[in-house]
Structure 1
């Protein structure tokens, strides 16, 4: 099994992944309390991928599960070691979960405009560029643009 539902016990590992140098550049930094509240609330699901020996090697967050629009947001996908295909495999599984298990009509995300490493697998798996959100996120001492991307159920199938 590539992904399992995360529990509150996974929060320390999720925080550690989020705070790696590479993730800090492209992933928002949430507090432990915010992760706990989001995980415990009913509008999001966290998924983790583990090594054979049980170490968390990646996580993903889906939000908007209680929205009537059936639009689910892929809020985060973070992996410990890039360039090994885990992120792509996790993304494919998250897409399957969103459309086949959760009944999404639309799966959407935002990604830093300068994060080509992340944008490539989204595009190659069918996500479409919807527009630029100008200076929508703050990174260190400057504002950054975010690209809004989505894939529809009909495009996934």
Structure 2
């Protein structure tokens, strides 16, 4: 079994040239606004490189690539890991031009297998803005449970939006994937 490789998706280290691809994703306002609550803006190359290069003990960040190509099509990560509690925050961003092709689902399946089987984590959590219905559907298809709502957390285009908290426990993942 290849730990970080599936049928047509693999998780890899970042390579020379990935920063330019990731910059193009972040320059897409819809992508950036689904990823972050901060106001949309263009980020410096230094900031983007810092995001991709994190080797912190509490962060595992991977490039998402198709198995038949080297081009970066996304980023997934486990962040702010609390090792003593076995918990981590999940983040995913897929190239907008590759959205809807199942790559996000496959990348998260690989990341969850890695989180629970290799890192021996007990809980993966994430937040998602309520307007990001496509992501919510994906998380629920993968077994994540809606655990809470940060009411009116975010204001975008003059409208208040909730931010939702989702979690997945190791036992739920094991039951879901048996």
SS in 2 for 1:25: helix
* Structure 1 residues 79 and 136: CA distance shift in structure 2, 3 A: same
Instruction: Return the match for 1:106 from 90, 101, 123.
Output: 123
Range moving further from structure 2, 136-145 or 119-128: 136-145
Matched, 1:92 2:106: no
Instruction: Return the match for 1:19 from 27, 40, 43.
Output: 27
Misfit runs of 4+, over 6 Å: none
Q: For residue 47 of structure 2, what is the aligned residue in structure 1?
A: 33
Q: For residue 49 of structure 1, what is the aligned residue in structure 2?
A: 64
**CA-based RMSD:** 2.4
Range moving further from structure 2, 139-148 or 40-49: 139-148
Contact 2:79 2:89 in 1 (8 A): yes
Instruction: Return the match for 2:11 from 3, 19, 22.
Output: 3
SS in 2 for 1:65: strand
Structure 2 residue ranges without an equivalent (≥5): none
CA distance in 2, matches of 1:149, 1:136: 15
Matched, 1:134 2:148: no
Task: Tell me how many residue pairs correspond in the alignment.
Answer: 156
SS in 2 for 1:129: strand
The two structures have a TM-score, normalised by structure 1, of 0.84
The two structures have a TM-score, normalised by structure 2, of 0.76
Q: For residue 167 of structure 2, what is the aligned residue in structure 1?
A: 150
CA distance in 2, matches of 1:63, 1:13: 21
User: Which structure's CA Rg is the greater one?
Assistant: 2
Contact 1:107 1:151 in 2 (8 A): yes
CA distance in 2, matches of 1:44, 1:7: 18
* Structure 1 residues 120 and 66: CA distance shift in structure 2, 3 A: same
Contact 1:5 1:45 in 2 (8 A): no
